[in-house]
Amino acid sequence: MIEVYMKKAIDIANRGSGFVNPDPLVGAILVKNEKIVGQGWYKFFGSERAEVMAIKSAGEDTRDSELFINIEPEIDEKYDEYISFILNSGIKRIYIGIPNPRVGRGGKAEEVFKPLGIEIEYGVLKNECEELNEIYTHYINTGTPFVFTKWAMTLDGKLASRTGDSKWISSEKSLEFVHHLRQRVAAIMVGENTVRLDNPLLTTRLEGVVISNPLRVIVSKYGDIPLNSNILKVDANTRTLIIASEKIAIEKEVELKNYGVDIIKLRERQGKIQFEDIVKALGERNIDSLYIEGGSSLLASAFESRVVNKVYAAIAPKIIGGKDAITPVGGVGIEKMNDAIRLSRVTHQIIGDDVIFKGYI
């Protein structure tokens, strides 16, 4: 049952997706006499701790209960009020999915609580808990966003037809999967060509959940974006950031800012904006995660810069054909197979008619 309770903590932690960045997703389950008596999750950045919420929600005597939490709480001897609250609850044991991944912070719960009579056990559903907070772990230790890509392609490896038509390669259920990815991240990115061809909204559209729209990031060296583009429609729930060159015309910069968008100007190196500079600039803005949705030239630049951490690829049972049809990753490409970027920890799942592969770099 230990793993069952931790799985519930993971599930409830996901309710904070899109709202807690750049903090971790945290879920807590309180169990007494093999019965769940309380639960809590970290709801939004700066909100009440998940474990405190779980204890408060129990509504009965919590003495001799057990707490399940997916990630070790931030704690040390300075947290007197928090430590007293945990002690006064009478919890006898705390199961923790993973230690605090912040450098030098792992194991603090055991250091603090074990001498006070509370048993601590780490490593329950370790792999699942690590993946849940891979964004947080990466960001706090590098200062740059965790970057992942996702594309949908046909069986013959095409992203779109030779005319650029790509609506829709994926099944409806696979498209819903995309919106769950958008809900999870702080920012979503496309290039200016995708804006011109597809005029995307880049918003999250899901039923039955509170929506969190990621920051829309557009890479456009000189701001050459049609003024009727959906991404220029900015309000309290949809924000847009344009990554441009320092050489962008002042008139174009003013014009775009009049639409309510923000602009980061970066120095060109070797005639283009480098992805290393982009992720550094986003990290400085507390953007902990970046989902690159395309197109092929932008994806090529990201892979060439070695900034991608995770890849999703949806393969649809369709064939386009044609040597001029667009492939997911453009650019020059490699010369020898030994130079190919290799993925590790590869898994797959079937969603609708599509097969979605997931792997890490």
Active site residues: 51
How far from 227 is each of 35, 44, 195, 196, 254, CA to CA, in Å? 57, 34, 11, 10, 13
Burial class (CB in 10 A: 0-12, 13-18, 19+), 326: buried
Asked if residue 297 belongs to a known ligand binding site, the reply is: yes
Asked if residue 128 belongs to a known ligand binding site, the reply is: no
Asked if residue 289 belongs to a known ligand binding site, the reply is: no
33 Cβ contact list (under 8 Å, min separation 6): none
Asked if residue 316 belongs to a known ligand binding site, the reply is: no
Asked if residue 152 belongs to a known ligand binding site, the reply is: yes
Asked if residue 13 belongs to a known ligand binding site, the reply is: no
Asked if residue 186 belongs to a known ligand binding site, the reply is: no
Asked if residue 17 belongs to a known ligand binding site, the reply is: no
Asked if residue 300 belongs to a known ligand binding site, the reply is: yes
In this structure, are residues 281 and 215 in contact, taking their beta carbons and an 8 Å threshold? no
Dist. CA 202–CA 193, nearest whole Å: 14
Asked if residue 293 belongs to a known ligand binding site, the reply is: yes
Asked if residue 205 belongs to a known ligand binding site, the reply is: yes
Terminal Cα-to-Cα distance of the chain (whole angstroms): 34
The one-letter amino acid code at 346 reads: V
Dist. CA 56–CA 33, nearest whole Å: 18
DSSP conformation class of 286 = T
Asked if residue 212 belongs to a known ligand binding site, the reply is: no
Asked if residue 171 belongs to a known ligand binding site, the reply is: no
6 Cβ contact list (under 8 Å, min separation 6): 29, 68, 70, 95, 97, 124, 125, 128, 129
Asked if residue 224 belongs to a known ligand binding site, the reply is: no
Dist. CA 294–CA 299, nearest whole Å: 6
Asked if residue 182 belongs to a known ligand binding site, the reply is: yes
Rounded (10°) CA dihedral 178, 168, 206, 46 = 30
In this structure, are residues 298 and 219 in contact, taking their beta carbons and an 8 Å threshold? yes
Binding residue numbers for NADP(+): 152, 168, 194, 198, 295-301
Binding residue numbers: 152, 166, 168, 182, 194, 198, 202, 205, 293, 295-301
Binding residue numbers for substrate: 166, 182, 202, 205, 293
